[in-house]
Amino acid sequence: MVNLIGTYECKADKKGRLMLPSQLKKQLNSVIDEGFVIKRAVFQPCLEIYPMSEWNVLMQKVNKLNRFVKKNNDFIRRFTAGVKMVDLDASGRLLIPKDLHSFASISNEVVLSSAVNIIEIWDKDSYEKAIDDATGDFAQLAEDVMGGENDIPDELS
């Protein structure tokens, strides 16, 4: 399992390519050769990059859904809409496909934000707005999610 750390600002060139920051690239070193999957985020106007090993774990869960249940079939279709396999080029750049580039309204200024085992790709202005919008209720959110009401092992409390 990959555990990623950090938030990085970078620039996208006119073709939609990003140079991965060296600190992030070091963290991904063990999985770079596997390639990545890039997709639309479910809850935010950003993109998600999954190392192939993490994507395969997620797909094992999705594959257990009964496709003869309409909402499951609808979920799978929407969840996998626009999914693409991507690799770093010889220069260490990642090409964001045009349709996904448009979905996330990526401009020249980009934020790569680690989200445990995946990387979120944000337009910088959208990222800052999302962080600002979440600031007010973060204490309550932290309590709700991590405050002991879930089945999280005691090591976290």
Cα separation, 92 vs 117, whole angstroms: 20
**Is the per-residue pLDDT at 135 higher than 80?**
no
Is the pTM higher than 0.95? no
Instruction: Give the model's pLDDT for residue 78.
Output: 93
**Domain residue ranges in the chain:** 7-127
- Give bridge partners of residue 156 from the DSSP assignment: none
First-to-last C-alpha distance (Å) of the chain: 22
| In the chain, beta strands by DSSP E | 7-11, 17-19, 36-40, 47-51, 84-86, 93-95, 109-115, 118-123
Residue 26 sits at the vertex; the CA angle it makes with 23 and 30, to the nearest 5 degrees, is 155
Q: How confident is the prediction for the chain on average, in pLDDT?
A: 90
Instruction: State pLDDT tens for residues 55-102.
Output: 999 999 999 999 999 999 999 999 999 999 999 998 889 999 999 999
- Give bridge partners of residue 121 from the DSSP assignment: 47, 112
Instruction: Give the model's pLDDT for residue 157.
Output: 45
Q: What percent of the chain has pLDDT over 70?
A: 92
**Is the per-residue pLDDT at 119 higher than 60?**
yes
Supply the CATH classification number for the domain 7-127. 3.40.1550.20
Residue written as token pair 């192939």: 52
Instruction: Give the model's pLDDT for residue 131.
Output: 87
Contact 92, 19 (CB under 8 A): yes
Cα separation, 112 vs 34, whole angstroms: 20
* C-alpha distance from residue 4 to each of 26, 50, 75 (Å): 10, 11, 27
Cα separation, 2 vs 147, whole angstroms: 25
